[in-house]
């Protein structure tokens, strides 16, 4: 356990309960006997959690793909007068993939009252409710739009890649081995929070992906048999295993959705752009932590949507993109 020494047994018990809830979110509405079908559970790598079929998992990686990967072919994005709108990339279903980046509890778990003091109230505070300081207030709205795009994409045979940001202990020493420089940061320790990397630590509930189930009807509607799953330990989802799969499928266009807007979404979009992929970002399918907006007064979605749209990708809406996929 990586929480601070002053944590009492009551708080630890609350964390365990929350972990079990998170575990249920991930495993609810799944087929029984997945281990029996593909070997024992002990044979499964941690980065391919049940009920994902082993052949749909693309490993956990922090190795970034080198570029370029896609030869350049002109596909002009032309902005209108006053930056009021722009043209869009053509969508070829046979060459397009959907990225669903980090739909995890660390971004979904919000306090009942969203304010700086409630967000910063750490696990050792009285009546801690299991929230995350990285609560994204539009998480479920964004996931609802992601579900619309994913459903339209699957109907066209477009592959969906589900990405999880998870730090794992692979050596058994009780500490994740793959968090890199993020392990340096004690951002909120002054308010009783653990080291920042623990928000994505497999040992704690916040790392769990929020899938649609009876107990989580607004979660991401995953298709375990058709979607691909990969874990990353870096900000970009363009890791070597993921890009290898994209290349094997002949993909040259990526629809980037998920969390957080100003971190993994932006990094993935820029990395994919640099590798030569056409990048499409539906700006109503992304969100960042409300804490930064409360502190800075900057709406990350409005600002970054404009930044990415002017030189990185085709920024659009769910409605417009789904219309192109019909």
Residues written for the chain: 326
Of residues 12 and 302, more confidence is placed in 302
Q: Which domain holds residue 166?
A: 63-78+87-325
Is 242 within the bounds of a domain? yes
Residue 309 and residue 311: Cα distance in Å, rounded? 6
Residue 72 and residue 196: Cα distance in Å, rounded? 39
Of residues 7 and 282, more confidence is placed in 282
> How many of the other CB atoms lie within 10 Å of CB of 262?
18
pLDDT greater than 90 at residue 2: no
Is 40 within the bounds of a domain? no
> How many of the other CB atoms lie within 10 Å of CB of 113?
9
Lowest mean pLDDT among 93-97, 203-207, 282-286, 302-306: 302-306
Residue listed under structure tokens 């030869």: 71
Per-residue pLDDT, 40? 53
What lies within 8 Å, CB to CB, of 234 at 6+ separation is 62, 64, 180
Residue 164 and residue 32: Cα distance in Å, rounded? 23
Per-residue pLDDT, 20? 40
Lowest mean pLDDT among 17-31, 35-49, 255-269: 17-31
- The total number of structural domains in the chain stands at 1
Residue listed under structure tokens 């993994």: 264
DSSP alpha helix (H) spans, 156-193: none
Give per-residue pLDDT as tens, 209-244: 999 999 999 999 999 999 999 999 999 999 999 999
Is 240 within the bounds of a domain? yes
Is 152 within the bounds of a domain? yes
Which tokens sit at 20?
Answer: 């079990």
Is 44 within the bounds of a domain? no
Give per-residue pLDDT as tens, 73-129: 999 999 999 988 999 999 999 999 999 999 999 999 999 999 999 999 999 999 999
Is 7 within the bounds of a domain? no
- Backbone CA torsion sign across 210, 211, 217, 222: positive
Is 15 within the bounds of a domain? no
Per-residue pLDDT, 298? 92
CATH number for position 262: 3.40.50.850
Is 21 within the bounds of a domain? no
Nearest to 38 by CA among 23, 61, 25, 56: 56
Mean pLDDT value across residues 253-272: 98
Which tokens sit at 66?
Answer: 């080198």
Local confidence band at 305 (pLDDT 50, 70, 90 cut-offs): confident
């Amino acid at each position: 356990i990586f929480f601070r020494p002053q944590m009492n047994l009551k708080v630890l018990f609350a964390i365990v309960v929350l972990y079990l809830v998170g575990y249920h979110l991930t495993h609810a509405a799944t087929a029984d006997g997945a281990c029996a079908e593909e070997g024992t559970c002990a044979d499964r790598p941690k980065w391919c959690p049940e009920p994902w079929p082993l052949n749909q998992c693309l490993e956990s990686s922090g190795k970034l793909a080198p570029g370029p990967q896609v030869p350049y072919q002109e596909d002009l994005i032309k902005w209108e007068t006053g930056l009021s709108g722009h043209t869009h990339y053509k969508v070829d279903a046979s060459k397009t993939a959907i990225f669903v980046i980090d739909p995890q509890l660390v971004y979904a778990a919000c306090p009942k009252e969203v304010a700086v003091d409630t967000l910063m109230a750490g696990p050792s505070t009285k009546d801690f409710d299991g929230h995350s300081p990285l609560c994204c207030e539009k998480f479920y709205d964004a996931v609802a739009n992601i579900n619309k795009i994913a459903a339209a994409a699957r109907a066209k045979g477009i592959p969906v890649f589900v990405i999880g940001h998870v730090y794992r202990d692979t050596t058994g020493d009780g500490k994740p081995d793959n968090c890199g420089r993020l392990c340096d940061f004690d951002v909120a320790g002054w308010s009783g929070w653990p080291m920042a990397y623990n928000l994505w630590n497999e040992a704690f509930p916040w790392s769990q992906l929020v899938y649609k189930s009876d107990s989580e009807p607004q979660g991401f509607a995953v298709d375990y048999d058709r979607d691909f799953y990969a874990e990353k330990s870096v900000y970009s989802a363009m890791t070597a295993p993921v890009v290898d799969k994209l290349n094997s499928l002949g993909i040259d266009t990526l629809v980037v959705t998920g969390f957080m807007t100003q971190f993994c979404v932006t990094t993935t979009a820029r990395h994919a752009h640099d590798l030569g992929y056409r990048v499409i970002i539906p700006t109503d399918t992304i969100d960042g932590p409300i804490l930064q907006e409360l502190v800075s007064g900057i709406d990350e979605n409005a600002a970054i949507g404009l930044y990415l749209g002017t030189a990185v990708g085709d920024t659009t809406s769910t409605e417009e993109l789904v219309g192109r996929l019909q």
